[in-house]
A and B are shown apart, each in its own frame.
Chain A
């Protein structure tokens, strides 16, 4: 591979084995390889325990894989860094800071001037629909609003890749649908590369330009899809997207795939 052909994000033969205190070991990931181009939106789906979070933590740099490597923009990942932004399910905001301080955290760490930080924060609060909430304490906000803050905080750092681990998992169905729209809007507006983990098939379909289905024991890539729904959803109502003729059969296919895996796991346990 020459310099110019190098992929934007390359996950190269990544394996992760956890050794348990009782001497046994778990193969959370086995030989996972994957490349992402700049600006792609990929959702990752799979039964719980198939290694989604582990994969994301390796990309984020929180875990070092037992073998293989992650290369972003030609640099091997060895630890967390501001070019890879994270959005967690919940509990990652800093309660002792106002909404504004939370969003401006990344720029402040980099030493960006106060005035510039202010402009960045104002713009992002506008984008996520929280312009009136800058001075509020984060614990005063609803769960959906807190996730908006988390998205804005991540974007304030202008990362190359955004990694989201079930970012909408703790929200109620209605808020969740609104937030799905917001994620699509941000994706289109910012052109960011996004990896989004979810356990909801619908969310994976709607928010995945590419959809990766993972299988457990050992954790591996089971199947990959390219989907049109994310592009449609950028301008249209998500409920309209669900009426598309390809949507329902697709959903059925993936759902039964996951079901089969779940049943297999149950079988193995017994």
Chain B
């Protein structure tokens, strides 16, 4: 909730600041700048690049601020780290009281550290000082009376912390945290946790970058990063190519022949709405969980998309083009190769982009279920060891690669079918 509120306020603040700062500098020459009607004119709405940059930066800033990153200048308060202490007042069976101090050392759990030294003893009477160590974001349990004179005798109890009375199941706030008393009279110290996320929930950005460098150099669980990503890509490409090799001719046949259309229509229309992931159990039963199964799954994911786009490409051919080609003396085969196939290429490319996207998503999911190597396998393995930094690095990598695939496909489209949308 707090994060959402901060995000919204950054959004609003950036908008206001940008408009006051950049308002004067904005060019007044462009055609769009001369338009008086822009609200509702779709062509007048272009993504504001400054907004995109601020958006990405602010996500990193928030991420950094809530993880205590060294890269961000401001942070929300972090957990208490350091040495602290509180006093307790014990009452013995004879209703006499005595005070002693508990010395606490709080460090990140990834550090190895010892209890603080007791140093000069300040206790009065029968209560004796104690020392304990607690990990940041954790709590530590201490039976303070254990080392006290007569502490094991029935009726001996802790009655106050830092002078404030306490009883079982109550708690008292001290300087750097909270002291709770358990039902049995032990003390549990919870150091101040602050607003920051614990690294096993969300590591700082630099930790993720460090992991990326480390893993691309040394690999993870004896598999290099390149191998992991390479295997995922290999499966996607295999599945996509096989799916296209079958799907495109099938789509053409469905677009050109009544019998094919009638035969495969029910199959295609039935298979199309089934998400590929729903097929995983069946695929595992049929083909096993390894390479054959995964490539079969991706094949099926790509197959229907490519079939449908090839079919649409054929059906979409303008009848006048077909008439023109026949009137120019084309044979059926020439019509297919010179007119119908090139005419369907834009549709096929659109389908290919969708298919690659679906395959990429499906491969990661399939690898989560079972794989020896792959981007999905890497993050699921890391999540079992609570290596959140690897999980996040993997997710970012998967996103970047998916985006990269889409950009590549679009570039290929621009080069190979420049006439798209221009007829």
Contact = CB atoms under 8 A, between A and B. Distances in A.
A151 to B, nearest CB: 12
B345 interface: yes
Nearest to A82: B329
B234 interface: no
A152 B179 CA distance: 94
A60 B318 CA distance: 17
A270 B325 CA distance: 42
A86 interface: yes
Interface in A81-135: 81-82, 84-86, 88, 91-97, 105-106, 109-110
By CB atoms of chain B within 10 A, which of A82, A96, A139, A157 has the most? Answer: A96
Contacts of A91: 318, 320-321, 423
Contacts of B321: 91-94
Contacts of A85: 327-328
Interface in B325-365: 325-331, 334, 338-339, 342-343, 345
Given A86-B323, A96-B345, A157-B329, A109 B334 contact: yes
A106 to B, nearest CB: 4
B323 A88 contact: yes
A60 B418 contact: no
B319 to A, nearest CB: 9
Contacts of B21: none
A94 B330 CA distance: 13
A269 to B, nearest CB: 28
B11 interface: no
A82 B342 contact: no
B423 A80 contact: no
A82 B419 contact: no
A137 interface: yes
B324 A81 contact: no
Nearest to B323: A62
A110 B329 contact: yes
B34 interface: no
A220 interface: no
A153 interface: yes
A2 to B, nearest CB: 31
A80 B419 contact: no
Contact of B419 (A95, A110, A153, A154): A95
A95 B328 contact: no
Given A92-B318, A94-B339, A109 B323 contact: no
B422 interface: yes
- Is the contact region of chain B dominated by helix, strand, or loop, or is it mixed? helix
A88 B329 CA distance: 16
B419 A137 contact: yes
Given A86-B327, A157-B329, A92 B419 contact: no
Interface residues of B, number: 23
A96 B419 CA distance: 6
Contacts of B418: 137
A93 B331 CA distance: 17
A137 B423 CA distance: 11
Contacts of A106: 328-329
A62 to B, nearest CB: 6
A95 B423 contact: yes
Contacts of B334: 109
Given A91-B320, A92-B320, A92-B321, A60 B422 contact: no
Contacts of A82: 327-329
A95 B345 contact: no
Interface in A152-191: 153-154, 157
A137 B342 CA distance: 14
Contacts of A105: 325, 328, 330, 338
A79 B331 CA distance: 12
A232 B329 CA distance: 34
Nearest to A62: B323
Given A91-B320, A96-B342, A105-B338, A157 B328 contact: yes
Interface in A237-258: none
Contacts of A86: 323-324, 327
Given A96-B419, A153-B328, 16 more contacts: A60-B323, A81-B327, A85-B328, A88-B320, A88-B324, A92-B318, A93-B321, A94-B321, A94-B338, A95-B423, A96-B345, A106-B328, A106-B329, A109-B328, A109-B334, A139-B419
Interface of A: 60, 62, 79-82, 84-86, 88, 91-97, 105-106, 109-110, 137, 139, 153-154, 157
Interface of B: 318, 320-321, 323-331, 334, 338-339, 342-343, 345, 417-419, 422-423
17 contacts: A62-B323, A82-B327, A82-B328, A88-B323, A91-B423, A92-B320, A93-B324, A96-B419, A97-B342, A105-B328, A105-B338, A106-B329, A109-B330, A139-B422, A139-B423, A154-B328, A157-B328
